[in-house]
Each structure stands twice: as C-alpha cells, then as structure tokens.
Amino acid sequence: MNLKFGTDGIRGPVESVITPEACLKIGHATGLAMKELGWNTVVIGKDTRISGYMLEAALQAGFIASGVNVRLLGPLPTPGVAYLTKTLRNKFGVVISASHNDFLDNGIKIFNEDGEKISRDVEKRIEKYLSGDLLSVKTESIGKAYRFDESGPRYIEFCKSTVPPEINFSSLRVVLDCANGACYRVSPEVFEELGAEVICIGTDPDGYNINKDCGSTHPNIVKEAVINHRADFGVSLDGDGDRVILVDEKGNILDGDDLLYILAFANPNRTGAWSGVVGTKMSNLGLEDGIKKLGYKFIRADVGDKYVSDMLTKKGWMLGGETSGHIICKDLVSTGDGTIAALKVISSLLMLEKKPSEVLANYTKIPQINIAVPVKNKDIVNDKDLQSLIKEIESDMTIGRVLVRPSGTESKIRIMIEAPQIEVAEKFAIDIESLILKKS
C-alpha cells in the first residue's frame, strides 16, 4: 500500500487508493505519529460524497486503535473543520474530502492544532508508520469516539462574525452555488442570517452529485442565474468549501486573482503585516503588476493553498491566494475559506461603495490559457522533448510565461500559457498538449 501525501493531503479513487483499508491505515499511522508529538485528540469532518460514511468509520477505527480519541463533526466545510480544530482546542483535525474532484475520488486532509495544514516533517512521520503493521494499543488504552452536533452552528456564527457590524447585506440578492457539497447547509444560513436574499444552487446532495456540473469549476451556472434573477452577486463554492469564484451583477466571472486584487485595493493599511501579498506560479502577470502598483510587495509560492499559507507565515503577511479561488485572509482564518472570502470581498465592495468592475478597471490581466491533460504517468512532464518545446516557446515570447506542471490532486498535466495575444497563448498551449498526448 503505497500511500503518499501530495499537494493537498492524500487523494485518489475510492476503488483503488482511498479504500477502507487505506483509511484504517491512515488513521492508525496518523494517530501514532501525533502521539509522538503529544497530540491525543482528533476532530473528523467530511463532505457529502457517498464514500464518506464508509471511510469515516474506517478512519475513526484506525485512530481509536492507536489510542487517540475522536470527535465526529459530520458534513462540514474543510475550513470549518480547521476552525473547530483550533477553537475546540483539539490537537489536530482531519477532513475526508477530495475537494473539487467528482464523487469517485476521496481524500484525507490533516490540520494541526492551529488549524493549518500539517508540515512536510509531520507528513513524513505519518508515512513512516504507513509502511508498518497495524497493531492496536492495549485494550485499556484504546481511544473513544464522540459525536459533536454543534459543528454547523458554531461555524455559521464564526462566519457571520467576520462581517463588520456596520455592513448590511439586507439590500443584496445573492445567487449561491454550494456544489452539492459540504457547504450545502451552513453557507446559505450565513448569507440569510446576514440579511441577504439568497437564491440557492447545489444544495441537494445525494452522495453522487458533488461538483457535478456545478460549483467553482462550473461558474457559468451562477453567471446565468445572476443575470436571470438580476442578482447583485453570485458565489460559487467548491465541494469542500475552501475555494470560491464570484460573479458580479453584470455576469462577469471573477477568479481568485480578481478577488485578491479587490481585497488588496480595499485595504487602507499597506505596511507591516499588510505590506505584501502572496500569489502562486499560476497568478496572472497582470495581477502581480497591479498589486505592486498599489504599493504592496508580491511573492509567488508553489501552487497549493498550503504553500501560500506557509509563505504568508514566513513573511508575516495577511493576504494571499490562488487563481483557482483559494483565498487566505490570515487576519480571520488559518486556511482557504470560500464562504469567508466571499463575505470579505462583498463587504469590502460595500464599504468602498463600488462595483467590482470599478475596482478591477485599475489592473489589466495578460491573456492566459489553462489546459489540463489527462495522463497515466505524470512523470512525462520531465520528457526531454517536452522540455525542449517549452524552452523553444519561451524564447519566442518577449512578454509572457509558460508553466507546465503535474497536478497535485489529479492524474493530469496542467498547462498554463500567458501571452500578449490570446491567439498566441492558445497556439502554444495546443502545441504542448499535442506533444503530451503523443507521448502518453
């Protein structure tokens, strides 16, 4: 059983990778590793995938066998689990979710006592135990499991508390897509209790429809609803609620780069902890230029909200995020939180008394093409012919970037091309895609 941590925990198909046996092992190995660090209590949350019931039972059995006590939170967004891990003063937290993937996949994400993704050193400790035998502690030392029924209400109140009391949502009509995922109950209540009129999409999970033709990877669903209902905003979350895409009143889709710019623009304090913004290698060159013109420093982390968070901690900064919609507001949360990011962006615009388009007119994106190519072996990214083609393309462009990388969450190679003309970016992206398909 070759289980290894990727960009965002351990993830894969339920039938072959994230099996009940694997989760039993992961729970046991994680429990042993955490006990080495003096941690003996875990909270476990999950999204709405049908496999969650099965994997939750296996995971808790593994923890209990290692002598760790378990609190079961039930369906809850990933950032909600991170929040409760910290506020309930548990030593660590686990989420059973494959984020934006379909229901055939699932995964395990682990947070430390501060509600942050565990470090690579802790992951290595767990991997060491994963290669060993699964042996229960003595009977008198096994852990216990409890249900915690207040997880949803606790998280709802926290989300509401992040909105300044002088901000009123009662004049807003909001289209909210919860991707038939972990936010399906809590996020609509947050917006409704703040006074907004909420038109819901993706709030009827059946175990199989998470992220299916909805959520942050399909923002056109919200775009159409915003136009049809004449809404003020559209909010599109992903299956575990840690990323968000917004839509403005005209139906314009705002990705993570746009949201980062709005938050940076709205912030009046640009010194100290607010002197810099963290993006990733995927962040648009136009965003970098726009952020710097606002008076901030701008640094790129590796792709993955974990790496953005780590860079923010290293620099002592408060704001960072990814193009995909992971937005981290360190003054409020320890990890990417789609609901809270949406609340903060909308609140900022209300305080500015500006439409999104008025703020975003202050920076210009460079045309960018993104393609995800399914492959059997992601090592093809190191193929010498592919690397030669990338260098050739880079030498042809005076302005722009080429990024070809293996996905950290799926069996895909991701291609990103930026160029002054969209036609040029499309041509180069297709050239790279064709070579990858030929080699795979």
Q: For residue 6, give the DSSP letter.
A: B
99 as an active site residue: the answer is yes
Task: Report the side by side order of strands in the sheet with 401-406.
Answer: 368-374, 412-418, 401-406
Task: Tell me the C-alpha distance between 75 and 155, whole Å.
Answer: 12
Task: Tell me the C-alpha distance between 179 and 103, whole Å.
Answer: 12
Q: Tokens 């993570």 correspond to what residue?
A: 256
Residue 217 tokens, joined? 């990877």
- Nearest partner of 21 among 4, 3, 37, 36, judged by Cα: 3
Residue 91 tokens, joined? 């030593």
The letter for the amino acid at 26 is I
Per-residue buried b or exposed e for 92-127, using 16+ beta carbons within 10 Å of the residue's own CB? bbbbbbbbbbebebbbbbbbbbebbbbeeebbebbb
- In terms of DSSP H, where are the helices of 379-420? 384-396
The single residue of 99, 236, 283, 407 carrying the catalytic annotation is 99
Pairing label, strands 319-321, 327-329: antiparallel
Length in residues, the chain: 440
Residue 330 tokens, joined? 């360190």
Distances (CA, A) of 283 to 67, 236, 290, 299: 43, 20, 12, 10
Neighbours of 3 (CB within 10 A): 18
The letter for the amino acid at 423 is E
Contacts of 238 (CB under 8 A, 6+ apart): 99, 100, 179, 181, 211, 215, 216, 217, 244, 325, 338
- Report the catalytic residues: 99
